[in-house]
Amino acid sequence: MVSEANMPDESDSAEPGELAATLAAHGIALTPDQVEVLDRYRAILWRWNERLNLTRHTTLEKFVSRDVVDSLALAEHISRGRRVLDIGSGGGAPGLIIAICRPDLRVTLCESTQKKARFLHSAVDELGLQLEVFAVRAEELLELRTFDTLVARAVAPTWKLLSWLAPYWSEFEELLLVKGSSWEQERGEARHRGLLKQIEFRRIASYPMPGDPPGESVVLRIRRRRAGETEDP
* DSSP state string for 78-147: S-TT-EEEEET-TTSTTHHHHHHH-TTSEEEEE--SHHHHHHHHHHHHHHT---EEE-S-HHHHHTT---
pLDDT value for 111: 97
pLDDT value for 9: 41
Give phi and psi for 46, each to the nearest 5: -70, -35
Q: Give the C-alpha separation, 4 to 101, whole Å.
A: 26
pLDDT value for 13: 66
Domains of the chain: 15-224 (3.40.50.150)
- Within its chain, how far is the Cα of 120 from the centroid? 13
> pLDDT averaged over consecutive 10-residue blocks of the chain (233 residues)?
40 72 96 97 95 89 95 98 97 97 97 96 96 96 98 94 96 97 95 94 93 86 78 53
Give the pairing of strands 149-153 and 132-134. unpaired
pLDDT value for 84: 98
